[in-house]
Amino acid sequence: MIDLKQFTSRAVIDWITIGVLLNCNTQFQWLQRELKSVIGRAPYVENIFGDKNASSNGFDIRFQEPEISIVLKAMAAIHAKFGLGLDPIVRSVEISVDFTPKTPNDLARARMARVLMNHLQVNEDVISKVRDRPRTVWGREEGKTNRLLYDSQPLNSEENKRFLIETDWDRAPYTDGTLEVGEKNALVTWRVMDKILDRQNIAAGTFISLDDISKRVRIEVTLDRPKVKALGITYLDDLRGLNFTRLQGRYFQFMLPTFINYASQKTGKRKAIAAASNPERASKFFKTGVIGLKAMDEVRAERWLQMRRTILPDIHERGLRLSPIDRTAKGVAGTFVAYDELNDRVRIALRNLGSRVGADFLSGA
């Protein structure tokens, strides 16, 4: 249903937060005014050592849709005006990959959004804690959240595992909402959306409506300081040497589910098990994507291993042996293969972003 050749793909730094330690104390508005004269608009500036309006020498500065060359000029202006007691530090960053239809088309964007939502795989544990689980968020009022995987508070962890296997309680994501994975303010979070607005300020109620040509589907990954450090990034200048394609394997990974071909099974019992399993797994994937299906397969694999351990002594006493576990693909439950075409598109987009960042460092030097 999707032809990736009908989309252009581009990776961007959506925003970056830089921490600065000044040689003198000042208030955030004076730092903000100095930055506005360089970048053309006032960035968000936060005092990290006290109340918002208090005098301080430590601030976090968030640059929206930054060109690194402009960020470097802003740091040079701060250094000239206030002095810097430490090289600027990358505190957090949000990297996005956009998919834009070559011919504007609402249905094409909706399909692309569901492809990203359903095929996204994450290496972090986003199942154990309910707040980490994938969910659709929409609107600005509280309570506008729809969790794809159900969890019951009165039940314990083991009892709740049955909801990871069952499909009746699953909810598919809303394409006109935002899919979020990871608890708010977690060290890493993911968001997938059909982006029709830009530079949205919810508090101020302002935004820019995109024209049809600019509307696109976006996947965003937000990395807090520990995850940024794990990439080898401490100081702003470290971005110069970052291999952005490393982000693909860590945070922009897409997988395809595999299903048993029950027609190839020799025995009636195997055919029956395979035929019954496929619709359940297909339903789990359709509603909760690779993340939900992986959780389902892992619980099933765990229970199957427990059963094997229970019956193994009796099998050995009878002089028999159990057949080895069949691994269909990779993973704990052996049920996924890489979505190579989509992963390659993301990898190329990230590589091109790295080239642009490198060029910005050269032009800003």
Tens-place pLDDT, residues 250-292:
999 999 998 877 555 555 545 545 555 688 999 999 999 999 9
**16 CB contacts (<8 Å, ≥6 apart)?**
62, 63, 66, 71, 90, 92, 93, 94
Instruction: List the Cα angle 353/354/360 in 5-degree steps.
Output: 90
What is the structure's pLDDT at 98?
A: 98
What is the structure's pLDDT at 314?
A: 63
- d(CA 337, CA 347) in angstroms, rounded, equals 17
Are the CB atoms for 6 and 101 separated by under 8 Å? Answer: yes
Percentage of residues of the chain with pLDDT beyond 70: 83
Tell me the pLDDT tens digit for each residue of 208-227. Answer: 788 899 999 999 999 999 99
Mean pLDDT of the chain: 87
CB-neighbour burial class of residue 120 (10 A; exposed 0-12, middle 13-18, buried 19+)? buried
Are the CB atoms for 289 and 134 separated by under 8 Å? Answer: yes
Count of alpha carbons within 13 Å of 63, Cβ hemisphere only? 26
pLDDT confidence bin for 312, thresholds 50/70/90: low
What is the structure's pLDDT at 264?
A: 57
What mean pLDDT comes out for the span 92-105?
Answer: 97
What mean pLDDT comes out for the span 36-64?
Answer: 92
- d(CA 22, CA 20) in angstroms, rounded, equals 6
Residue 143: DSSP 8-state: T
Helices and strands per DSSP (H, E), number in the chain = 8, 14
Residue 210: DSSP 8-state: P
What is the structure's pLDDT at 129?
A: 92
The H-or-E segment that residue 206 falls in is strand 206-209
Q: Position 159: which residue type? A: E
What mean pLDDT comes out for the span 9-37?
Answer: 95
Residues composing the chain: 365
Tell me the pLDDT tens digit for each residue of 345-354. Answer: 999 999 999 9
What is the structure's pLDDT at 139?
A: 73
pLDDT confidence bin for 326, thresholds 50/70/90: low
Tell me the pLDDT tens digit for each residue of 154-209. Answer: 888 888 889 999 999 999 999 889 999 999 999 999 999 999 887 655 555 556 78
Tell me the pLDDT tens digit for each residue of 112-124. Answer: 999 999 999 999 9
pLDDT confidence bin for 83, thresholds 50/70/90: very high
What mean pLDDT comes out for the span 292-307?
Answer: 84
pLDDT confidence bin for 136, thresholds 50/70/90: very high
What is the structure's pLDDT at 157?
A: 85
Instruction: List the Cα angle 61/131/329 in 5-degree steps.
Output: 105
The H-or-E segment that residue 13 falls in is strand 7-26
The H-or-E segment that residue 219 falls in is strand 216-223
What is the structure's pLDDT at 53?
A: 86
